[in-house]
Chain A
């Protein structure tokens, strides 16, 4: 596929930046479960995380397809964009539904890197994909909202200044439509951590800085409300499509990394006097993964185009995430197999990327839920849940 010179330059620039954060950097962060702050700062300083912010607020005003290229290239370079990707997709809700005051207040400072918007509080212990049953409540009290409840799997909360939070403002029994009654808040976490908000890190099998968050009579100004009260679920949905497309692009980048790593190793590793890549038993799985990745990549580009041209990319974004996460996971498995025992050695980076890549057939939405969406909403089959 021929790309514009512009996109090619974006790719080169991201590669050049990522070259300064080699495997050794990520291995060190992984072994101590530390946040890659230097990497996130470098990305921010070079303006990449402000790609979607309009130029008037200090960003570059690019389309989601361009942002997807940035995320893809980060992963293909062996880095981990999960430390920073939320800023890209959270932005969407703020851009579309935030008030002019909120945009003026936050966007320029997010663009310069003074503020990080990396936390997205949606999932709860008793409501993952079933977002509408969430229990965190926000009650209006004069010029404030008082928030009580709990969020789970809120990644990067310890390293973010701002959080986009979804909470119930009207009890489920009192709403006319079940999608009503939820509201979105843009919260300045610096003012509430230790003052109604408690963040507890959760250790996971990879370095992902995820947390659970407790709200205990947390008071926030009423001006933190994004858009209209009660319409939050709708606002979040369009952000979720952006999230799926960007994460699908990251999976494509991961798959490219695994395929290149495996091809290079298979060309150099000699067993029985010749490169193992000369054996079809070794080269066919690599070639198959390449074909699978290319097909998924086309779907990702298609979904991003639908998003950028104002269409509803619900089905496309879901399919892109499904296909890309499966392509990346297949490539991860193939890459370990190609490396044999060395695939398990930390210094090859394969095992780390393997652990990181496993996430995306589960999050931000699992493969089963995508299949049931397609079955119900695209194919017209009976709802299964």
Chain B
């Protein structure tokens, strides 16, 4: 069984984003970029399934700029078997899902494991759209994943607890934070990654139109937090909380 893991190159989670002066987006010049953390969890889960003997091949796919090659190299260095880069800039979730649907057609995977969302635009749409486009079942916000026979059981993080769903494969899974702790890319795997295949494609190869359908009106920085006040004692604290209406 093959597993496809889409990975996205995003602004590193440690970097404090700066909005461009014209409000058209976030400034990415000379900013450290990394693999979306939820996608790292997806790669890790796929590798674990391969190590258990459930899967035979893990294919990392990225739709993004040329530089997304680095992100794919990281996936290969973690242990993925091969990679596909579809070169395109600023692609919206729907177009990403359409390309992934075509990759699924070609590769016939048993599972597609995606991060639940990318930490740059927080869309949280691609997995769901891919399930809809392909007519395959989805297990979103996965906390645990177990494959048995032609089914995969996904415990989902929902309000108030976990909900376990059984999905017929091929199925789409999106990862939540607690699914696993991703491994570090190891030096021996970095060396092996050199000789692993990385295929370069374009959206046209898949016949997908990636032109944007959404229009960004403006991007602004979050409001600056105003300074707090000091209170003398607990009574003063309670009185203040009542005054501003957060305690009765």
- B74 / chain A contacts, CB cutoff of 8 Å: 9, 12-13, 16
* Residue B142 interfacial (CB < 8 Å): no
Tell me whether A13 and B185 are in contact (CB under 8 A). Answer: yes
CB of B157, distance to nearest CB on chain A (Å):
23
Cβ-defined contact, B186 with A6, below 8 A: no
User: Chain B residues with Cβ under 8 A from A5's Cβ?
Assistant: 69-70, 73, 194
Annotate B185-206 by CB proximity to A: 1 below 8 A, 0 otherwise: 1111111011000000000000
* B59 in contact (CB, < 8 A): no
Does A240 sit at the interface, judged by CB under 8 A?
no
Contact between chains at B187 and A6 (CB < 8 Å)? no
Q: Is A306 an interface residue (CB 8 A)?
A: no
| CB of B224, distance to nearest CB on chain A (Å) | 13
Residues 49-85 of B, flagged 1 when their CB comes within 8 A of A and 0 if not, give: 0000000000000000000011001100100000000
Q: Which segment, of A43-51, A82-90, A153-161, A289-297, faces chain B? A: A43-51
- The closest CB in chain B to the CB of A51 belongs to B187
Cβ-defined contact, B190 with A13, below 8 A = yes
Chain A, residues 1-23, CB within 8 Å of chain B (1/0): the string is 00001101110110011010000
Chain B residue nearest in CB terms to A70:
B187
Interface check A42, CB cutoff 8 A: yes
Closest chain B residue to A50, Cβ basis:
B187
Residues A10 and B184 in contact, CB atoms below 8 Å apart: no
* A9-B74, A13-B77 known; A46 vs B194 contact (CB < 8 Å): no
Which residues of chain A are near B77, meaning CB under 8 Å? 9, 13
Q: Is the CB of B190 within 8 A of A16?
A: no
* Beta-carbon contact of B188 and A9 below 8 Å: no
Q: For residue B189, which residues in chain A have a CB less than 8 angstroms away from its CB? A: 47
For the complex, is B226 an interface residue (Cβ under 8 Å from A)? Answer: no
A60 at interface, CB cutoff 8 A = yes
Asked whether, in the complex, the Cβ of A19 is within 8 Å of the Cβ of B14, the reply is yes
Contact call B70/A47, Cβ cutoff below 8 A: no
* A-chain residues with CB within 8 Å of residue B73 when the two chains form the complex: 5, 9
Tell me the complex Cα distance, A5–B186, Å: 15
**Which of A17, A42, A45, A60 touches B191 (beta carbons < 8 Å)?**
A60
- Chain B residue nearest to A17 (CB atoms) is B184
Number of A-B contacts defined by CB within 8 Å: 54
Q: Are A9 and B185 in contact (CB under 8 A)?
A: yes
A13, A17, A42 — most chain B CB neighbours (10 Å): A13
Q: Give the dominant DSSP class at A's interface.
A: helix
For window 287-317 of A, CB contacts with B under 8 Å fall at: none
CA distance A17 to B184 in the complex (A): 6
User: Chain B nearest CB: distance from A290 CB in Å?
Assistant: 14
Majority SS of interface residues in chain B?
A: helix
Which chain B positions have C-beta within 8 A of A16? 34, 74, 184-185
A13 touches B184 (CB 8 A): yes
Nearest CB of chain B from residue A40's CB, rounded to whole Å: 14
User: Could you tell me the distance between the alpha carbons of A60 and B186 in the complex, rounded to whole angstroms?
Assistant: 10
A10, B70: Cα distance in complex, Å: 11
With A9-B74, A13-B74 as contacts: A46 and B184 at CB distance below 8 Å: yes
In contact, B190 and A9 (Cβ under 8 angstroms): yes
Q: Mark A119-136, 1 if CB is under 8 A from B, else 0.
A: 000000000000000000
**Residues in A whose Cβ lies below 8 Å from that of B69:** 5
A45 to B34, CA, bound (A): 22
CA distance A19 to B184 in the complex (A): 11
- Taken together as a complex, chains A and B put the C-alpha atoms of A48 and B193 apart, in Å, by 15
Measured CA separation A220–B189 after assembly (Å)? 38
User: Is A6 touching B190 in the complex (CB atoms < 8 A)?
Assistant: yes
Select B186's contact among A8, A12, A19, A47, beta carbons within 8 Å. A47
Q: Pick from B14, B34, B187: contact of A10, CB below 8 A.
A: B187
**Pairwise interchain contact B184-A6, C-beta atoms closer than 8 A:** no
A9 touches B14 (CB 8 A): no
- B194 neighbours in A (Cβ, 8 Å): 5-6
Complex Cα distance, B191 from A54, in Å, reads 13
Chain A residues near B14 (CB, 8 Å)?
Answer: 19
Q: Chain A residue with minimal CB distance to B73?
A: A9
**Chain A residues, CB < 8 A from B186:** 13, 45-47
Closest-CB distance, A60 to chain B (whole angstroms) = 5
Question: Given A6-B194, A19-B14 in contact, is the A13-B187 Cβ separation under 8 Å?
Answer: yes
Residues of B within 8 A of A42 (CB): 184
CA distance A202 to B77 in the complex (A): 40
Most buried by B among A6, A16, A60, A70: A16
Bound CA span A275–B72, Å: 38
Q: Which residues of B contact A46 (CB under 8 A)?
A: 184-187
What 0/1 pattern do residues 234 to 259 of A give for CB contact below 8 A with B?
00000000000000000000000000
Question: Could you say which residues of chain A place their CB within 8 Å of the CB of B190?
Answer: 6, 9-10, 13
Complex alpha-carbon distance, A19 and B15, angstroms: 12
Q: How far is the CB of A16 from chain B (nearest CB, A)?
A: 6
Give 1 or 0 for each of B119-143: 1 = CB within 8 Å of chain A CB.
0000000000000000000000000
- In Å, the complex CA distance between A12 and B184 comes to 10
| Known interface pairs A13-B190, A17-B184; 17 further A-B residue pairs with C-beta atoms within 8 A, sorted by A's residue number | A5-B69, A6-B190, A8-B70, A9-B70, A9-B73, A9-B74, A9-B185, A9-B190, A13-B187, A16-B34, A16-B185, A19-B14, A42-B184, A47-B186, A47-B188, A60-B191, A62-B191
Q: Give the top 7 A-B pairs by smallest Cβ distance, nearest first.
A: A47-B187, A13-B185, A46-B184, A46-B186, A47-B186, A17-B184, A60-B187
- B-side residues, CB < 8 A to A, are 14, 34, 69-70, 73-74, 77, 184-191, 193-194
23 contacts between A and B (CB under 8 A): A5-B69, A5-B70, A5-B194, A9-B73, A9-B74, A9-B77, A9-B185, A9-B190, A10-B187, A10-B190, A12-B34, A12-B70, A12-B74, A12-B185, A13-B74, A13-B184, A16-B34, A16-B74, A16-B184, A19-B14, A46-B184, A60-B191, A62-B187
